[in-house]
């Protein structure tokens, strides 16, 4: 099991799932993307092709085979680009959770996408006061801004802490990477089973322009929609996903 995390987080975001699958006999591997967490804060290479190449280097260095790749949000893009760019010879299955493919940005060819102004706003917020921006973003990320939501201040603190570990250059560059990269061709090349999981109240990566399009492009995909679920794994959503993840791995 190889886990790829979302922006602006790091491998620790997968601790619950890594412990879960390891407890069921799988080897769990989660890496910090370049510029994130404990990885070196490189100036260059903060784009999807390099993210995919970094993942390939990890896979080759550890000589992983029959691996199951799991990517959340930006990490879902990383997984898709890896499979499209490096093939599936080392991979048996993949999971795309709240993932950004096929394309987040609104373009003439993708009119349902999110306008560039929204991503410019993210960059401006990170550049001006990233600490407050990450704290505020945690509300929508976990759906804590919805009426009746059970807010975990600890979860918000965890999100903030991981966000603050991202180098500023990497954080800013990654916004373009997750929003402007078109994964359409990558998805069409993936010839292994793919489990696509997405909350229908995802405020960060809206399901209509991501999972519902992705499933139409995958040769061998299964879509599971979680009613009322947000972008980040939390509470009942996390519990339900964990059960489905195990079922997919063991199936």
User: Average pLDDT in the 62-90 region?
Assistant: 98
The whole-chain average pLDDT of the chain stands at: 97
pLDDT of residue 144: 98
* CA atoms of 194 and 222, how far apart (whole Å): 6
Q: Which residues are catalytic?
A: 73, 202, 231
DSSP state of 143: T
Q: Give residues with Cβ within 8 angstroms of 156, minimum separation 6.
A: 135, 138, 139, 142, 144
Nearest CA among 88, 87, 75, 86 for reference residue 37? 75
**Residue 251 confidence (pLDDT) above 90:** no
pLDDT of residue 126: 98
Q: For residue range 124-140, list pLDDT tens digits in order.
A: 999 999 999 999 999 99
CATH number at residue 218: 3.40.50.1820
Q: For residue range 190-245, list pLDDT tens digits in order.
A: 999 999 999 999 999 999 999 999 999 999 999 999 999 999 999 999 999 999 99
Domain assignment of residue 204, given as a range: 2-250
* CA atoms of 165 and 148, how far apart (whole Å): 31
**Total structural domains within the chain:** 1
Q: Where are the beta strands (DSSP E) in 73-219?
A: 91-97, 194-199
Nearest CA among 36, 31, 60, 37 for reference residue 177? 36
pTM to 2 decimal places: 0.97
Cβ atoms of residues 29 and 62 within 8 Å: yes
């Amino acid at each position: 099991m190889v886990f790829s995390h979302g922006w602006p987080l790091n491998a620790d975001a997968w601790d619950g799932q890594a412990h879960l699958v390891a407890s069921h006999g799988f080897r769990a591997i989660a890496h910090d993307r370049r510029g994130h967490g404990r990885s070196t804060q490189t100036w260059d290479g903060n784009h999807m092709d390099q993210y995919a190449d970094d993942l390939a280097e990890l896979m080759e260095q550890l000589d992983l085979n029959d691996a199951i790749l799991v990517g959340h949000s930006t990490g879902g893009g990383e997984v898709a680009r890896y499979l499209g760019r490096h093939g599936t010879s080392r991979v048996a299955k993949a999971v795309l959770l709240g993932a950004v493919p096929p394309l987040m940005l609104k373009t003439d060819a993708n009119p349902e996408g999110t306008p560039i102004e929204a991503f410019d706003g993210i960059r401006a917020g990170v550049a001006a006061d990233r600490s407050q921006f990450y704290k505020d973003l945690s509300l929508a990320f976990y759906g804590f801004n919805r009426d009746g939501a059970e807010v975990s201040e600890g979860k918000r603190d965890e999100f903030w802490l991981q966000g603050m570990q991202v180098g500023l250059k990497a954080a800013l560059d990654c916004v373009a990477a997750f929003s402007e990269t078109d994964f359409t061709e990558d998805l069409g090349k993936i010839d292994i089973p793919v489990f696509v999981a997405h909350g229908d109240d995802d405020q960060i990566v809206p399901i209509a322009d991501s999972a519902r399009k992705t499933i139409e492009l995958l040769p061998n995909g299964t879509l599971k929609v979680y009613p009322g679920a947000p972008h980040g794994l939390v509470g009942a959503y996390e519990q339900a996903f964990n059960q489905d993840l195990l079922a997919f791995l063991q199936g």
